[in-house]
Amino acid sequence: MKEECGVVGVLLDDTKSQSKTAALQIYYSLYALQHRGQESTGITVYNGGSTHSLKGMGLVPEVYAREDIVKLVGHVGIGHVRYSTTGQSRIENCQPLIVNYKSGTVAIAHNGNLINGHDLRDELESEGRIFITDSDTEVVAHLLVKELLKHGAVESIKNVMKRLKGSYSLAIMIDDLLIAARDPLGIKPLCIGKTDLGLVVASESVAIDTLNGKLIRDVKPGEIVVLKDGEVESHQVYNTTHAAHCVFEYIYFARPDSVIDGQLVYKVRERIGRELAKEHSVEADIISPVPDSGITSAVGYSRESKIQYQEGLMKNRYIGRTFILPGQEMREIAVRLKMNTIAENIEDKKVVLIDDSVVRGTTSRRIINMIKDSGAREVHARIGSPAIIAPCYMGIDMATREELIAANNKVENICNTINADSLGYLSIDGLVRAIGLDKEDLCMGCLTEVYPLEIPGEKCQCRQTRLNQF
């Protein structure tokens, strides 16, 4: 699985920052959000008269040179890291997306996925609108520009939100005005922070931490926030009885040191491990994680089970992006490039292997085979999420139902397929207890086949949202 995007917006206080280094602040923030997208990245700033951008394919340190960053003068800007779920991997889809219109310039950075994106695109194309990308973000941009010709910024964004169905966390710059918006169910994370130099909005609080700032709060589901003159101006567009926060932010996507919707991700993952140990205990010599996302849950499992934590796998953190040649032998080499066993730690041991999820099962099988080939007597797989039985429509690049191993197999069959001695998934209730939020405030469509929004052909336990008048 891959997350698709991270967004950030920075507004500097002119009285505190004479150097106007919004671009440098955005650069550091995007570095902290690199885990959310490694395909492309972009920074756009407003210099008082016009917008200027740097964009490129690749990782943050590959795309930006310091001499280029310091030339991006401006006290306000937005940035983006991307992994595509909607739209191909090409420079045209690199964000922020910029649209010039009669009264100025709009720049948008988007994290999420629109369920009705294709329908809206067809409608806009029938009106004669021309698209240069195939991403949802340009749909949002066209809708916003239409509204800005008739209304002010907040009213325009409110009207756009009324048209959108799906998940979205948006950082929007309209000339020098910085605005953030979150979908009515709060599916994707978005938070606000304050630094010595000004205000920040970001997908995760780690971006604010990197700037030595302080997390103020999360953007509420259905809220528009305007960052202006050092103040946060709130407009609650929608009220909802229950949110639908994505559970995989807590299980896998977010950095462990992030705080998302009031929950420290590290603590959630540690509780996941403890719940796993309670639900699926087994006699073993060591608890070992699949790095990096399995580490914190393995710590929790070890503490709850009183079985020693010991690393049996070491991740190559400097591999970057690789090209993989076809053929089974090359696929095996690809796994070993990314991860290697510490044979002395696992030889002749009964190993409990903690991983965050099993999607297709192919990677799990290769890792377990590596551990057994290094001398482990037994490998017991413990998974820090319930079985994934359905696709995601909200912005996670996930397999189809036909490819999902748990959608078509019982646990016993999956265990045999991945060559484990036993297999235990975290239960839905165990996951909810670990996250610490109300079950009704979580999106678990990929785990339950019941979605919080109406999707053709799928079951829906639709959340009720009420549009505020203001």
Question: Rounded CA gap, 325 and 407, in Å?
Answer: 29
Residues 6+ apart with CB under 8 A from 367: 290, 313, 335, 339, 353, 355
Sign of CA dihedral 84, 442, 276, 309: positive
Question: Rounded CA gap, 25 and 8, in Å?
Answer: 10
Residues 6+ apart with CB under 8 A from 327: none
Across the strands, what pairs with 306?
none
As a whole-number percent, the residues of the chain with pLDDT over 90 amount to 80
Q: Using one digit for the tens of pLDDT, what is the confidence trace for 306-341?
A: 999 999 999 987 765 444 444 556 666 777 788 899
pLDDT at 324: 43
State whether residue 438 is helix, strand or coil. Answer: coil
As a whole-number percent, the residues of the chain with pLDDT over 70 amount to 93
Residues annotated within a binding site for [4Fe-4S] cluster: 246, 392, 443, 446
Q: Which two tokens stand for residue 241?
A: 């009885």
pLDDT at 134: 85
Query: What's the mean pLDDT when you consider all of the chain?
Result: 92
For residue 196, which phi and psi values (nearest 5 degrees)? -65, -25
For residue 399, which phi and psi values (nearest 5 degrees)? -70, 165
> Is residue 84 pLDDT above 70, yes or no?
no
Domains recognised in the chain with CATH numbers: 5-244 (3.60.20.10), 267-437 (3.40.50.2020)
* Per-residue burial over 400-439, b = 16 or more CB atoms within 10 Å of its CB, e = otherwise: eeeebbbbeeeeeebbebbbbbbbbbbbbebbbbbbebee
Which of 5, 94, 191, 415 is flagged as catalytic? Answer: 5
Residues annotated within a binding site: 246, 293, 355-356, 392, 443, 446
Q: Using one digit for the tens of pLDDT, what is the confidence trace for 31-66?
A: 999 999 989 999 999 998 899 999 999 999 999 998
Q: Using one digit for the tens of pLDDT, what is the confidence trace for 397-433?
A: 777 899 999 999 999 999 999 999 999 999 999 999 9
- Model confidence, pTM: 0.92
pLDDT at 41: 96
Indicate if 5 belongs to the active site: yes
Q: Which two tokens stand for residue 130?
A: 């021309």
Q: What is the arithmetic mean of pLDDT over 254-271?
A: 97
Number of other CB atoms surrounding residue 140 within 10 Å: 28
CA-based nearest residue to 350, from 312, 315, 294: 312
- E-strand ranges in 145-269 read 166-174, 177-182, 191-194, 198-202, 214-218, 223-228, 231-236, 238-240, 245-246, 259-260, 263-264
Range from 21-30, 328-337, 405-414, 447-456 carrying the lowest mean pLDDT: 328-337
Please calculate the CA angle 343-355-336 and round it to the nearest 5 degrees: 45
